Each structure stands twice: as C-alpha cells, then as structure tokens.
Structure 1
Amino acid sequence: MLRFLRYSLPLLAVLILSLASAPTTACPFCSMQGQTLAGEVAGADMVLFGTLANANIKDDTTDLVLDSVVKTNDLVAGKKVVTLPKYLEPDKLTQYKFLVFCYIFKGKIDPYRGMAMKPDSDIVAYLKGVQELKDKKPAERLPFYFKYLDNADPEISMDAFKEFANADYKDYREMAKNLPADKLAGWLRDRNTPGFRIGLYGSLLGHCGKDKDATLLRSLIDDPERKLSSGVDGVMAGYTMIKPKEGWEYTKSLMKDPNKEFLMRYAGLRAARFLHDFRPDLVDKKELADGVAQLLNQKDIADLAVEDLRKWGCADMTNRVLALRETEAYTTLPIVRRSVLRFALSFPDVAADSAYVAEQRKSNAQGVSEAEEILKLEQAK
C-alpha cells in the first residue's frame, strides 16, 4: 500500500514528500516525537498530584487531597485540599491518584487535564527531576531520562522515550558513549520491548558496545523469529558504529538483494543516510553512494535512491541514473521519472543531464516546471 500511494502522488503530495524528507533536528531512529511532560508542566500555571475525594454532583465539584505540588501557585499555598470545579464520579477513580494540570483564569482554578496514575507511580519524583533540569542542555538532561526508559509506569517510560525522540543526534552522541551497554543489550534481547524503541536502543548500543554487542545487533536482524519491522535502521547503524567495515558490508548486502522485503532494504537506505549525514567518519561517502546506487535496479525503491544520490551531490552517478530510462520502473512509474528529472536538473553542468533536461522541456514542459518548483522550495529551506 505504501508503495502504491507513493507511485500515484499528485504534485502537491510530491512537494510535501520532498520537504518532509529533508533532515530534521530529532532522533534519526525514533518515530514518537511530540509534546513531553516537561513541555506540559512549563505550559501549565499549576500542576498538582493527589487523591480525589468528596465529589459533589450538585455543586459540580471534587476535592483533590494533595500529596504533592509539582508546580505551585499562590492559590494553593499552604493548602492540603484543593476543590476542583468539576464533578468526577468517585467510585470509578478510587484506585488511582491524579496528576492535574491547571490554568488560573480570573483568579480561579481551571483544570484542563488529568492523568490517572497508580498510587506507587514515580511521577512526582520524575517531574521534580524534570523541573530541576529544565534549564540544562539536552546532553545534560538525557542521562536522567535514560534511567526512566524502563520505568514501570508507562506514562513515565513513554515520556522519557519522547525526550530522546525529540533530541538531535548531536545531543546524545557523546553522552551515549557512557551508557551501560549491558542494559541496552538486555532491552534489545527482550521480546517485549516495543518495536518503535528498537532503533533508538540499537543506535545507543552502537556508541558504547563492544564486539559481542555487534554480534547481538546482527542477530536481531537475522533472527527469522523476531522479524523486526521497525527500528532496523538504528540496529544497522549501531552495528556499523561498532564494526564499521563489517557493518556496512552487511548493510550493503541487504540493500543489494531485491528479494529482501522492502522495509528491510529501506532500513538499509535510512542507515546509509544516517552515516552520510551524521557519521562520515565511519564510512567513506563514495562507499555510501555506491551502496545506495545498488537500489537503482529495484523498481520499488529506485526513486528513493535517486533522490538521495541527488541530495548528496553525486553528479558522477549520472550515467547510472539516466540508465533508468531503459527500465520498466521508468516506463511505468511517474514517481521514478520525476526523480530522474530532478536529478538531471540538479547538475546542469553535466552534459548528459543537460541534454536530458532539454529533451524533457520539449516533451514534458509542465513536468519540468513542476520539478524546478520543487527544487526551489527545497533550496529555500
């Protein structure tokens, strides 16, 4: 389905896809970016934690017996009980404590979000730590969040993960060298670890792991029972960080095999992007380009390979890219033709590219115009 949608994209969608594929300042191997509790606490006027009691349906109120004040306000100074202007049915809520986010509007409490927490939750200690670190640089905050990645409270664990997901690679590159490799390896071995975390954990292990961890990372990809469907790019990158030559050769072999599932070959491409953009010290850029160029012969992913080669300035790949004109992919898939055209437009000083563009201006003037517009928008970012 994914490939079908990409093949039939109209111009507007192509524009969006092109812009969305540009590098972003976030974890390269995480897909759960978003608002964190640190951001929510910062945006609230007051944050309270306690037990609900004395629900009054007539007055539409419920008391919150305070255990802790995470973020205070003069309205609750010295109070042990705060009355919330909302009736909350007590019989359904007695097993939980509540974290309540409030605005103060015209001198009154306006609770706008409540999170039900188990009584033994570490949420108060966690949020106090978050508050203490709020003015620190990401690299100084992330070791704190690492300790909570496996917290028993799913709200805390997910929030800690989001802090990594929102962090740029440079924010955790050095910090990751000092992480406990055995703990990361244990999380990766655990079949209950959510798939969306595998990429982050694999890449973190790549910074602090040893040869035995490289063996583990490779086994995760090879294991037919695990059948990893997400995070494989981070595992490949981690393997390559520990053993650059061996890891990259293995990744290339996976990309080269057209019989491998699309997601596996695409993971190899994403790993190559990471190595190119963030770790050029590990694999020579020409080696990376040659590895990605293997995908040009594969109908379902050729356009993505062309796009990366273009963005990497690989004018020397012109002959291999233009050779796609003789393939079924070029003949039957507009998305492939568009990628080839954008490639040629990007290298006007290369005779073969210039000749191809001139030919296209005669037979497909609108397509050339649209491609030029996409490139202008891309360059403006």
Structure 2
Amino acid sequence: MFRLATSALLSLIVCTASTSSLWACPFCAAVSQTFTEEIDSMDTVVIGELVKLPKKGDEKEEVASRETPKATFQIVQIVKGGQFLLETTTIETIYFGDGQLGKPFLIMGVDPPKIQWSTPLQLTERARKYIPELLALPKEGVVRLEFFQKHLEDDDEMLARDAYDEFAKAPYATVLALKPKMDHARLLDWIQDGDIPASRRRLYLTMLGVCGTNDDLPMLEAMLRSEDRKAKAGLDAMIGCYLTLKGPNGMPLVEELFLKNNKAEYADTYAAIMALRFHGSETDVVPKKRILEGLRYMLDRPQLADLVIPDLARWEDWESMPKLVQLFKEADDKSSWVRVPVINYLRACPDPAAAEHIKELEKIDPAAVKRANTFFPFGGSAGAAAPSES
C-alpha cells in the first residue's frame, strides 16, 4: 500500500510538472515564510527599541496575577501601517527574553484599531537596515533577486535564510535572467564548502548550471563519483548542473553511476531521475529521446521501474510497451507494485494494442487493474500533456 501511494504521488508530481513551467528554483525547497511574505500578511510593522523589561516577580506572584509579563518598546521606525498607529510611540507586548535595553526589535501587528502585537524578534544592525529595504523592491524580477543575491550566506544567519527562501520561491526563468550578475567564483567556493547546508548547496549548483563553464566539469564529475555522502549532498541539483554544462555527452556517466548500476543507492537513483525529469520538462539541453533512453534503463531494475513509468507515458514513449507488459507478467512479491503504473501507462497509450494488453493482464492480476482504476480514475498520467520535443 505504501508503494502504491508513492506511485500515486509520483504520477501527481509528473503531471503537475508537465502542465506548467517551474515556478521555483527546481531543486530548492523554501524553509519558511520570507520576511516579505510575513510583512504582507500584517497590518502594521515597526522597528522598536527595548526600553523596559517585564518586572520579574517570584513564581507565586506570577500565578496569582494571571498576567503574562510584557516588555515596553519605543517605536523608532514605522515600516508599514503608520495610519493605524496615530500618536502611538510605545508598544507593550509579550516578551520572554532577557534582551539588552536599547536593542532593536521587529514587531508586527494585526487587527487594528486594537492591534495584537507579535512576539518581538531581535535584530542585528544589518537586519535593521535590511527590513525597510524589502518594501522598496519590485515584487518580482531580476532586480529583486540581485538584491537577495548579496545576502546569500550573509554573516547574519537570519538574512542568509531569508535570501535563500526568496531564491527558492523565485521563478526559474528569473534565476536564468540573473546570469550576468552571478558571482561564479563565490558559487564555486560555497559548493565546495562542506559546512554549507544541502538545501543551499542545491541552489548554488542550480545557479552554477546557469553561469558555469566547461572548466567546472572536472569538479562536478569528481563529486558525482565520490563515495563521500557529504560530497554528494544535493545530488539531484548536482546532476542537473552537470547535464546543463555537459549536455547529452554527460548522460553516459549519469547512466553508469545511477541508472544502470544495480548497486546504486535508492536515494541516488531517485536524484538522477529528478534531474532528468527537470531537463525533460524545463530545458532543451539534452534531447528528449536521449533522456528517455536513460530512463529506460530503469526497466531493467524491476523493483524501481515504477519511478519512471509515469514519465514514459507523459513523454509518449510507446516503444516501451512490450517491455512494460513483460514487467507486469514477471512481477513477483518484490516488484508487484510495478503493475498499477503499467496499467496506467497502457490506459494512456493511444495504440489499440494497449487496450488488448490490459484485457490480457487483467486475467493475470485483476486486482491490479481494479486498483489502477480506483486510485487513478482518469488514467494516471494519461491526461498530462507531453512537453514539446527537443
């Protein structure tokens, strides 16, 4: 059942990817809301300096009063919603820290006129300057990313996280347009820094794919061949970057290490499939036929074949039909989950022979055909449009 659910999720992913362009850095996942998103969701935002800490009483007094201690902040800058503050100059709000008096804090509020204030967030001097600058940025485009690029791996970790999240949520087309402004040398340093989190490394590899050159290929090939898991962190983005720079000539190495190789770890094989899925959907660097040639090697690994069957259907690789019918017939307890994706592939195939195969296979495993109809009533990936041919 778990494997069937996984197949359902994979079909959903590839269908979604096929019907719209990537609206985010392809291998990145945002960690949290950006400051801009938080500010947009609030009615008023201020920067205030801590002027008075809550009075510290003993535990009995706090229980008796039933009041949560509040600190007082002097408003020093209104970032948003000044019309709701009128003559307000100080704010009292819940604060449990032991902050130093005079230090700046970011405080956000909702529901005026009786504003409910958020828990204050202490700011460094860099962050104090950073927050107001956000409101002056265009809502999207290269100029916006150029600003956040300056704060990638910022000394202030809070700003570094925010800059990464902005890139992770940016359209891939905008990342491509940033190419002339990218710092190639700095990206190489970050990619080779073992202390950089894998999520951020994925971003830097994606950016290297945009601005890199053939001179970067030896480094990438060494990382791909490495047995050190840390060196291969962000493998999906690494393979994507490698193929972007190497083109179709990079496919043999990817196939050798991750697709043909029965000893390749599941996570590594899956990373390679994700990279090929990206190139098949979003770029024309590697011809579609060459990508399909690589994906077909997974059909020789029955236990993992279901990972690529939705892609074969989506890209209308009907040449694989005989092999898939064979996989269905030869499936055992270790590979039985391949049967539902095979049926969905056949349902998507316009060749009349596919319908005949379904009738034939239903006699072998009627339950698999029933599950395919139940979990994928519209034919799994059948309704997904194939990307334009490269």
- Structure with larger RCO (C-alpha < 8 A, sep 6+): 2
Give 1:83's aligned residue.
91
> 2:259 aligned with 1:261, yes or no?
no
Deviation at 1:250, TM superposition (A): 1.7
Q: Secondary structure at the match of 1:52?
A: strand
Q: Per-residue CA shift, 1:83-102, capped at 9, x if unaligned?
A: 2243x346x22286421111
Q: Secondary structure at the match of 1:133?
A: coil
**Whole-angstrom distance in 2 between the partners of 1:153 and 1:108:** 33
Deviation at 1:145, TM superposition (A): 1.1
Alignment size in residue pairs: 364
Give 1:40's aligned residue.
38
Matches of residues 114-193 of structure 1 in structure 2 within 5 Å? 114-117=120-123, 119-120=124-125, 122-135=126-139, 137-193=140-196
- TM-score (normalised: structure 1): 0.85
The one-letter code matched in structure 2 to 1:358 is: K
In structure 2, the CA distance between the partners of 1:34 and 1:349, relative to structure 1 (3 Å rule), is farther
The one-letter code matched in structure 1 to 2:30 is: M
Q: Per-residue CA shift, 1:193-236, capped at 9, x if unaligned?
A: 10112222112101111222222222222233354464211111
The one-letter code matched in structure 1 to 2:349 is: F
Tell me if the contact between 1:251 and 1:268 (Cα under 8 Å) persists in the aligned partners: yes
**Whole-angstrom distance in 2 between the partners of 1:210 and 1:78:** 58
Tell me if the contact between 1:179 and 1:208 (Cα under 8 Å) persists in the aligned partners: yes
Q: Per-residue CA shift, 1:129-185, capped at 9, x if unaligned?
A: 3211143x3333111111111112222111111111112222212223541110100
In structure 2, the CA distance between the partners of 1:208 and 1:85, relative to structure 1 (3 Å rule), is closer
Q: CA RMSD in A?
A: 2.8
**Whole-angstrom distance in 1 between the partners of 2:11 and 2:36:** 32
Structure 2, unmatched stretches of 5+, are: 56-64, 386-390
The one-letter code matched in structure 1 to 2:107 is: V
The equivalent position to 2:116 in structure 1, one of 103, 110, 115, is 110
**Whole-angstrom distance in 2 between the partners of 1:150 and 1:262:** 31
Deviation at 1:14, TM superposition (A): 5.3
In structure 2, the CA distance between the partners of 1:213 and 1:170, relative to structure 1 (3 Å rule), is same
Deviation at 1:65, TM superposition (A): 2.6
The one-letter code matched in structure 1 to 2:105 is: F
Q: Per-residue CA shift, 1:314-365, capped at 9, x if unaligned?
A: 111112222213544x5543421111111111114251x2222112445345
In structure 2, the CA distance between the partners of 1:301 and 1:97, relative to structure 1 (3 Å rule), is farther
Question: Structure 1: which 4+ aligned runs deviate by more than 6 Å?
Answer: none
**Whole-angstrom distance in 2 between the partners of 1:350 and 1:256:** 31
Give 2:80's aligned residue.
71
Deviation at 1:67, TM superposition (A): 4.1
Give 1:234's aligned residue.
237
- TM-score (normalised: structure 2): 0.83
Matches of residues 266-305 of structure 1 in structure 2 within 5 Å? 266-280=270-284, 282-305=285-308
Give 1:359's aligned residue.
360
**Whole-angstrom distance in 2 between the partners of 1:377 and 1:265:** 21
**Deviation larger for 16-25 or 316-325:** 16-25
**Whole-angstrom distance in 2 between the partners of 1:279 and 1:46:** 42
